[in-house]
């Protein structure tokens, strides 16, 4: 049996799982709505939510009492590098900050996702839900959306990931304030979900 540990930004160590068959990390969990939903459906796995906003973490901790949920109030850019290599089964990133996915910031965010890749177990996955908008807030054409999706996949392929799934929009079971808000204007805010595998 292999034990998984993670160092907190305080320098201490936190025990993450001993019997858990699966370790899932949500990057930027917000108020934890999605994390709670997933953890309720899968009580045998451990779910870790990382969120920088203290108010959101307080709200999540006051509501989520599940024993298979760990909430970390910190920057996931600081926390992820402290995980053991090949220790995580899945990372979930829903509507990350543009600085961590935008085309203009590509050279800034690629090293972070390279770190995510190293922390995933073999056959582990990164599920990314992100959005494309027009700078002038005009509708996003099918051609532009398709070109953007191809660019996004090529970025992650260059980091070692293998795309194994793609859909327009967010998964139906994924509920959050931001997803609900963005889903209200599907012409000007076009979302994509990519499932990216480490082989």
Task: Please write the tens of the pLDDT for every residue from 30-53.
Answer: 999 999 999 999 999 999 999 999
Percent of the chain with pLDDT over 90: 80
Q: Which residues contact 180 (CB under 8 A, 6 or more apart)?
A: none
With a CB cutoff of 8 Å and minimum separation 6, the contacts of 44 are 20, 21, 22, 68
Residue 24 bridge partners (DSSP): 47, 90
Q: Residue 176: which pLDDT band, with cuts at 50, 70 and 90?
A: confident
Q: From 71, 66, 68, select the one nearest 54 (Cα to Cα).
A: 71
Rounded to 5 degrees, what are φ and ψ at 41? -80, -15
**pLDDT digits 0-9 by tens, 75-98:** 999 999 999 999 999 999 999 999
Homologous superfamily of 4-129+145-175+193-197 in CATH? Vaccinia Virus protein VP39 (3.40.50.150)
What are the residue boundaries of the structural domains of the chain, listed by start?
4-129+145-175+193-197
Q: What is the reported pLDDT for 137?
A: 83
Closest CA to 197 of 167, 146, 153: 153
């Amino acid at each position: 049996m292999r034990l998984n540990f993670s160092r907190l930004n305080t320098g201490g160590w936190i025990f993450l799982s001993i019997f858990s068959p699966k370790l899932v990390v949500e990057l930027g969990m917000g108020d934890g709505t999605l994390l709670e939903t997933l953890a309720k459906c899968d009580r045998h796995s451990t779910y870790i939510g990382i969120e920088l906003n203290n108010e959101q973490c307080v709200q999540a901790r006051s509501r989520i009492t599940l024993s298979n949920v760990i909430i970390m109030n910190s920057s996931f850019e600081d926390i992820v590098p402290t995980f053991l290599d090949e220790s995580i089964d899945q990372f979930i990133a829903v509507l990350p900050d543009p600085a961590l996915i935008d085309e203009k910031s590509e050279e800034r965010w690629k090293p972070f996702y390279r770190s995510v890749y190293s922390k995933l177990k073999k056959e582990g996955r990164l599920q990314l839900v992100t959005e494309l908008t027009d700078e002038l807030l005009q509708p996003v054409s099918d051609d532009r959306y398709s070109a953007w999706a191809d660019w996004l996949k090529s970025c992650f392929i260059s980091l070692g990931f293998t795309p194994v799934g793609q859909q327009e929009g967010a998964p139906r079971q994924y509920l959050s304030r931001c997803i609900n808000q963005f889903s209200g204007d599907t012409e000007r805010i076009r979302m994509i979900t990519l499932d990216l595998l480490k082989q």
